Chains A and B, each alone.
Chain A
Amino acid sequence: MVLSKAKKHVTYTIQDIETSDEAMKDFLFSLGCHAGQAITIISNFGSNMVVNINDARYSIDLELAKAIIV
């Protein structure tokens, strides 16, 4: 499922990043946001959410949350 549909405070494993934006995919990779990594939604504000990836907090938007498959 896409991350935007995932539950809060549950640690998921990323399955895939589905985007045609290769540069963004590479950038996410360097942050540790890629298949096999753990991700947790900390807060969900609707249009934005705060996630934990690789021991750091990030704010991501809905579009990106839809591109992350968990």
Chain B
Amino acid sequence: MRIALAGNPNSGKTTLFNALTGSIEHVGNWPGVTVARKEGFVKKQLSIHQNIRIVDLPGTYSMSPFTNEERITKDYVQQEHPDVIINIIDASNLSRSLFFTTQLLSLGVPVVIALNKWDLVTKKAINIDMTHLSKDLGCPIVEVSALRQDGLKKLLETCVDRKGSTQEPAFIGHTDATLNKEAWLEEEKERSVFVSNLVKHVEKRSIDSHKLNQHDAIDRIVAHPYFGIPIFIVILYGVFSISQATLGPFLADYLVGWIDLFYAFVANLMGTQVSPFLQALVLDGVIGGVGAIVGFLPLIMVLFFMLALLEDSGYMARVALIMDPYLKKVGLSGRSIIPMVISTGCAIPGIMSTRTIRDDRQRKTTAMLTSFMPCGAKLPVIALFAGVFFQDAAWVGTLMYFMGILIIFFGAIVIRKINGDTSKASYFIMELPEYRFPSFKRAFIAMISQGKQFVIKAVTIILLSNILVQIMQTFSWNLQLVEEGAEATSILASIATPLAFILVPLGFGLWQLAAAAITGFIAKENVVGTLAVVFGITNFIDLEALEVVAGTTEISSIMGITTVAALAYLVFNLFTPPCFAAIGAMNAELESKKWLYGAIGFQLGMGYTLAYFIYQIGTLITTGQFGSGLILGFLIVLVYIGSIVYLIKRNDQSRMTLQGA
């Protein structure tokens, strides 16, 4: 049996989907989080009937046959023939929800209404005559709380009962809406009158929604044009200081201690019987490399816990609001904030979520730039450099996020200049969900889910990369073991050295660092893993223990780079193209090779240019003279800036747009 979940954005569909199936799909207290449809089976403890399949459809306010995104629901129902549709309704917003409900009811598939957010109804002193409503709509209504998982069994039972029954439409218009758009609009007007009359009969509100409430009072402060952004900065800084500078490292110390014990245990176990190569492979390649990354797990989990709390509270929709005027100046809109926030977890769903942006150029620009936001995989890299070179300073992480935002602004200006200003007057409208006290349970679930993905990645793709790196640095091209002191003859060194040459102007022209940057394209965590392997460092967190391994607590001296060069290296790794998987997602969303190559070129140049200026100017300030490779780097940066200027000029002359090309 198959059940489709349909409803307005932010009505709680994904929360209900998770509650029914036991999945842990991403939920946000703001509209537009689900873009693709998701499927899952109902948990066994909820229904005695086996094999109930649930499909979570993207949220929509209406089913217009004339727009693409709104057609998804209708197309799905017509092509896949679900047995029952669960229409999830925000009980505190009946009038808007029922508009979509009456459209669903005319599809001919039995509908069961799940009346969600029932607790809000009581709080807002709304009275709904359920018997009357159910009779007028001609379908059963079940009160549920997706959050508290109440009423789910009854909901499923009702669905099973309705399977195979027929559904009469509650509202039939007087025109043939399939005829043309005018006829359809006429029908929608009648529908709207029908719905408002229905709501008048069944709903009694003691508090007028047009009156101000506490939520509005909070909005007046956090969405204020002057206070809004400083408040956002303070909140982000707080999140980073807790996750990266205080609680996170405190927990990480324990974890790293256990990893070190494990390392010593395995080293002891192997004794002297095992060949040095195998010993190095298992200890440095596997345990050291993976351990170096897993050591950052607490930092990441604390961060995601806090971001989940923030998202659950309803604050993120306000961030979109305060950023909108600024984004508009560069040709984007507050809509671009959703992909940017999702990208702080992972750029792939972030890039996919750009589909909710209506304007084509805005959508492509956002898909191209959103991966500049530091994602979860980049966090260990940030944490490593912040910890080693900047004493765990929380400003490093905060700065990297704001740098990401600034680059997105800058990139958007460049793209608009290259393509010309092609978008029509763009309007911004976004529902502001009510604030709520964030649920620790949901934040915990989000944290566990992120942590799990992180560990899975660490023991699969990153483990494999580390083994490869270990083998490549142990052997030379004629498959001889590399002698101590002749590390530069290894396969890894010979591949990475040519690249290291062009990295000299950035302050890190070492083959080890170049190799780490390359493996970073497979997965950004690899930067940390590879550094651990090539420098033989097992943990980057507990610096006192490091002395035992490397003979010094100064990782900076092990790596042989200055603090300025370290910052340049961090920036280079964060703002060059993301991992291959994210580039693949970009390819799918941009649907144009020209845009894709443009995006990759832009990102490569951006990472290089930023790192160049940070290193050269930083070195000038700290030592009084420029760093090495000043001229070479300048030429490369010149080529990058030159090509951007050329593309802009070309557009100025021909006024031809690349849009849709």
Q: Are A67 and B358 in contact (CB under 8 A)?
A: no
B122: A residues at CB distance < 8 A: none
Task: Give Cα A28–Cα B431 distance, bound, in whole angstroms.
Answer: 12
Residues of A within 8 A of B95 (CB): 32, 54-55
Check A63 against B223 for contact (C-beta < 8 Å). Answer: no
Tell me the bound Cα distance from A11 to B434 in angstroms: 20
Which residue of chain B has its CB nearest to the CB of A64?
Answer: B427
A31 and B325 contact, CB distance less than 8 A: no
Max chain B Cβ within 10 angstroms of own Cβ: one of A9, A11, A50: A50
Q: Which 6 A-B pairs have the closest CB atoms?
A: A30-B62, A30-B61, A47-B325, A61-B428, A40-B210, A64-B427
Alpha-carbon distance between A63 and B64 when the two chains are bound, in angstroms: 24
Residues of B within 8 A of A57 (CB): 215-216, 431-432, 434
C-alpha spacing A40/B213, complex, angstroms:
13
Q: Are B99 and A26 in contact (CB under 8 A)?
A: no
Taking a contact as CB atoms under 8 Å apart, the answer to whether B432 and A50 are in contact is yes
B424 within 8 A of A: yes
Q: Which residues of B contact A9 (CB under 8 A)?
A: 212
B89 to A: closest C-beta gap in Å: 12
Residue-wise interface mask of A (43-55) relative to B, using a CB-CB cutoff of 8 A (1 in contact, 0 not):
1011110101011
Contact across chains for B425 and A30 when beta carbons are under 8 A apart: no
Which chain A residues border B92 with CB–CB below 8 Å?
55
Q: A20 — nearest CB in chain B belongs to which residue?
A: B424
**Which chain A residue lies CB-closest to B92?**
A55
Q: Which residues of B contact A40 (CB under 8 A)?
A: 210
What string of 1s and 0s marks CB contacts (under 8 Å) between A6-40 and chain B?
A: 00010100000001110110111111101000101
CB neighbours (8 Å) of A29 from chain B are: 62, 185, 188, 192
- Cross-chain contact of A63 among B185, B188, B426 (Cβ < 8 A): B426
Closest to B189 in A: A34
Of all chain A residues, which has the CB nearest B226? A45
Indicate whether B93 reaches chain A with its CB closer than 8 angstroms: yes
Centre residue among A34, A42, A59 by max chain B CB count within 10 A: A59
Given contacts A31-B96, A43-B216, A43-B223, contact A61 B62 (CB under 8 A): no
**A61 vs B322: C-alpha distance in the bound complex, in angstroms?**
11
Contact at A46–B225, with CB atoms within 8 Å?
yes
Q: Closest approach, in angstroms, between the C-beta of B487 and any C-beta of chain A?
A: 58
List residues of chain A with CB within 8 A of the CB of B425.
19, 21, 63
**Per a CB cutoff under 8 Å, which of B64, B99, B212, B321 touches A42?**
B212
Q: Contact at A55–B429, with CB atoms within 8 Å?
A: no
- Which residues 217-240 of B have a CB within 8 angstroms of A? 219-220, 223-225
Contact A32/B429 with A9-B212, A11-B210, A23-B67 known, Cβ cut-off 8 Å:
no
User: Taking the complex as formed, is B178 at the interface, i.e. its CB lies under 8 A from any CB of chain A?
Assistant: no
Does any Cβ of A come within 8 Å of B209's Cβ? yes
Q: Are B324 and A61 in contact (CB under 8 A)?
A: yes
> What residues of chain A lie closer than 8 Å to B427, measured between beta carbons?
19, 21, 24, 60-61, 63-64, 67
**Can you list 13 pairs linking A and B with CB atoms under 8 Å apart?**
A19-B425, A26-B66, A26-B185, A27-B61, A29-B188, A29-B192, A56-B96, A58-B431, A59-B317, A61-B328, A61-B333, A61-B428, A64-B427
* Contact of B430 with A by CB under 8 A: yes
B residues within 8 Å of A by Cβ?
A: 61-62, 64, 66-67, 70, 92-96, 99-100, 185, 188-189, 192, 205, 209-210, 212, 215-216, 219-220, 223-225, 317, 320-321, 324-325, 328, 333-334, 358, 424-432, 434
| Nearest-Cβ distance from residue B423 to partner chain A, whole angstroms | 11
Flag if A43 contacts B219 (CB, 8 Å).
Answer: yes
Question: With the chains together, A52 CA to B192 CA distance in Å?
Answer: 17
Chain B residues with Cβ below 8 Å from A32 are 95-96, 99, 192
Indicate if the CB atoms of A48 and B67 lie closer than 8 Å: no
Contacts of B94 in A (CB 8 A): 55
* A9 and B424 alpha carbons, distance in the complex (Å): 31
State the CA gap A24–B427 with chains docked (Å): 8
Chain A residue, CB-CB nearest to B434: A57
CB closest residue in chain A, given B100:
A30
Chain A's nearest CB lies how many Å from the CB of B199?
A: 9
Report A-chain residues with C-beta under 8 Å of the C-beta of B223. Answer: 43, 45, 48, 50, 59
CB B326 to nearest CB in A, in angstroms, measures 9
User: Nearest Cβ in chain B — how far from A68, in angstroms?
Assistant: 10
Q: Which residues of B contact A26 (CB under 8 A)?
A: 62, 64, 66-67, 185
Contact in complex: A56, B428 (CB < 8 Å): no
Alpha-carbon separation in the docked complex, A9 to B328 (Å): 27
Contact, CB under 8 Å: A59 / B325 = no
Task: Please give the distance in Å from B301's CB to the nearest CB on chain A.
Answer: 32
B313 shortest CB reach to chain A, Å: 15
Which listed residue, A20, A43, A48, A56, touches B431 by the CB 8 Å rule? A56
Across the interface, which residues of A come within 8 angstroms of B185, CB to CB? 26, 29
Instruction: Give the complex CA separation of A23 and B70 in angstroms.
Output: 11
What is the CB-to-nearest-CB distance from B275 to chain A, in angstroms, rounded to a whole number? 65
Contact pick for B210, options A21, A38, A60, A63, CB 8 Å: A38
With A43-B216, A48-B324, A59-B429 given, name 15 new contacts (CB 8 A): A21-B424, A27-B62, A29-B188, A29-B192, A31-B429, A38-B210, A40-B210, A46-B225, A56-B431, A57-B434, A59-B223, A59-B334, A61-B427, A63-B428, A64-B429
Cα(A17)–Cα(B321), bound, Å = 22
Instruction: State the CA gap A11–B432 with chains docked (Å).
Output: 19
Interfacial chain A residues near B432, Cβ < 8 Å: 50, 57-59
Q: Shortest Cβ distance from B436 into chain A, in angstroms?
A: 14
